[in-house]
Structure 1
Amino acid sequence: MTWLDRVLVWAMPGYCSFCLAGAGDSPWCEQCLVGLPWHVSGCPVCSEPRPASVPSHVICGHCLKRRPDFDQSWVPFLYEDEIAQLIQRFKFNADRRAGQILLQLMVHAFDVQHGPEHVQAIVTADLHLSRARERGFDQTRWLGQRLAHALDLPLYRATRRRQTPTQRGLSRSARQRNVRHVYHVTSALPPCVLLLDDVMTTGATLDALSRACREKGAEHVTACAMARTPAGRAI
């Protein structure tokens, strides 16, 4: 979408953010919604994408080898096409319009895909202050505040004990080492919590966050992200 297209979307409410066709009260038309890269088949633990022919209860090889700390995951989209573009604009360009569309898509997905049940709170992991300043805002906290409000759930935040190198481009094992023992939750948590991140690649960040949440009373942990990277692809 060009700069002019984005301006027109802002100026013309009721039009699809993807094709600019009439869209009523939603920021998308039905055709574009159906055509988004929905994540329809993945490991029940880490959501790694796999062929639809694999039974939904079968756990992937990565989780059999080293099961993450969280109990299950829920990720409605693949990190591809329009969703990847929205996340990149939101995450790296501080584009609140893109964030608002992603938020509404998440809430919609909770309704149509029957999101995780019995969740009592949402937990997000704060960016280190220096990285939040570099990007202009903390995108996960921004999304978490609004999703918690939309779902009528309390929001808890985990802080970072130290700054870490970016996860982008790191291998699975390097990602796990990079975030080990990095998160700290100060408040006691209810038994069932939902961990929220923007993109899930190997699940290392959410795994580390889950361990910090267990220390504060969480018993059943669901990892959640807007999108999952395809198998074998790191960002």
Structure 2
Amino acid sequence: MERPARLPSGHALWRWLLPWRCLLCGARGADGIDLCADCAAELPRNRSCCARCALPLAAPAALCGECQRRAPPWDAAWAPFRYGWPLDRLESRYKFSADLAAGRVLSRLWQSEPCPLRLPQLLLAVPLHRSRLRRRGYNQALELARPLAHALGVPLHRDALQRRRSTAAQTELDAVARRRNVHGAFALREGVVLPAHVAILDDVMTTGATLAECARVLRRAGVQRVDVWALARAPSPRG
């Protein structure tokens, strides 16, 4: 008598019953995530970019024109992806539609990219104001930072940096308005002691106004080197 096929157990059984499915096209997922190989191949990686602000460039260059004219208040930037199709679709679902499955895909994608910078002694995530955190239910930057910090072996301080006032959403503002909007919005928690090298992380970097304001707070606290990390960099600043 032929023996019945042996079913997988534990996590393998769960995946046998519910296999990975691409969140973009519905095809079978690949490499243990809900993203198929074809959609993964379309992800816009940020290979040619400014070394200081990670702005995507048409040709390799040490610094973009803006960083040559006026250096940002951080030392270096890492943004492994450009903000474009299809990554922007996953990011929008994660950030604005509470699609945590999309967030898990983005997290895994980031972990698969090698960090080109010297690792910091501490990682911080751009904080949300408590009113927006209550509405959204989670800080999208912090949830990306947790697994990345673990994978890289970098300590993460979840609330060293605080947003002390609520600000308007940056999405519809031009570059000047973005800087004004976040001016003075961040502060360091009282009693926190920071190491010499810190990286501040956000999900998407557009003009860099939010990260710049965070970097200034860290500089005033005595941090010698500040890097900025973002999952994706917008192709060009708005405004």
Q: 1:64 to 1:73 in 2, by over 3 A?
A: same
Higher CA-based Rg: 2
**In 2: Cα distance, 1:10 partner to 1:89 partner:** 26
Pick the aligned partner of 2:55 from 42, 45, 48: 48
More off after superposition, 74-83 vs 214-223? 214-223
2:19–2:29: 8 Å Cα contact kept in structure 1? Answer: no
Q: 1:221 to 1:31 in 2, by over 3 A?
A: same
**In 2: Cα distance, 1:152 partner to 1:10 partner:** 31
Q: Aligned to 2:232, what secondary structure does the other structure show?
A: strand
**1:181 alignment counterpart:** 184
Q: After TM superposition, give the deviation of residue 86 of structure 1 in Å.
A: 0.8
**1:213 alignment counterpart:** 218
**1:12 alignment counterpart:** 18
Question: TM-score, normalization: structure 2?
Answer: 0.83
Ranges in structure 1 where 5+ consecutive residues have no aligned partner: 1-8
> Are residue 134 (structure 1) and residue 141 (structure 2) matched?
no
**Percent of pairs with identical residues:** 40
Counterpart code for 1:202: T
1:188–1:217: 8 Å Cα contact kept in structure 2? Answer: no
Ranges in structure 2 where 5+ consecutive residues have no aligned partner: 1-14
2:126–2:214: 8 Å Cα contact kept in structure 1? Answer: yes
**In 2: Cα distance, 1:10 partner to 1:128 partner:** 41
Q: CA RMSD in A?
A: 2.2
> Are residue 201 (structure 1) and residue 206 (structure 2) matched?
yes
1:156-167 equivalences under 5 Å are: 156=157, 157=159, 158-167=161-170
More off after superposition, 28-37 vs 70-79? 28-37
Q: After TM superposition, give the deviation of residue 32 of structure 1 in Å.
A: 3.1
**2:110 alignment counterpart:** 106
Q: 1:197 to 1:169 in 2, by over 3 A?
A: same
**In 2: Cα distance, 1:151 partner to 1:196 partner:** 14
Q: After TM superposition, give the deviation of residue 41 of structure 1 in Å.
A: 1.4
1:14–1:24: 8 Å Cα contact kept in structure 2? Answer: no
**2:40 alignment counterpart:** 33
**In 1: Cα distance, 2:99 partner to 2:68 partner:** 38
1:79–1:199: 8 Å Cα contact kept in structure 2? Answer: yes
**In 1: Cα distance, 2:174 partner to 2:19 partner:** 42
Counterpart code for 1:137: Y
> Are residue 172 (structure 1) and residue 171 (structure 2) matched?
no
Q: Aligned to 2:138, what secondary structure does the other structure show?
A: coil
> Are residue 118 (structure 1) and residue 122 (structure 2) matched?
no
Q: After TM superposition, give the deviation of residue 28 of structure 1 in Å.
A: 3.6
**In 2: Cα distance, 1:221 partner to 1:10 partner:** 44
Q: Aligned to 2:86, what secondary structure does the other structure show?
A: helix
**1:155 alignment counterpart:** 156
**1:145 alignment counterpart:** 146
Q: What is the count of residue pairs matched by the alignment?
A: 220
**In 1: Cα distance, 2:17 partner to 2:58 partner:** 41
Q: Aligned to 1:73, what secondary structure does the other structure show?
A: strand
**In 2: Cα distance, 1:176 partner to 1:64 partner:** 19
Q: After TM superposition, give the deviation of residue 152 of structure 1 in Å.
A: 2.0
1:122–1:155: 8 Å Cα contact kept in structure 2? Answer: yes
1:15–1:24: 8 Å Cα contact kept in structure 2? Answer: no
Q: Aligned to 1:196, what secondary structure does the other structure show?
A: strand
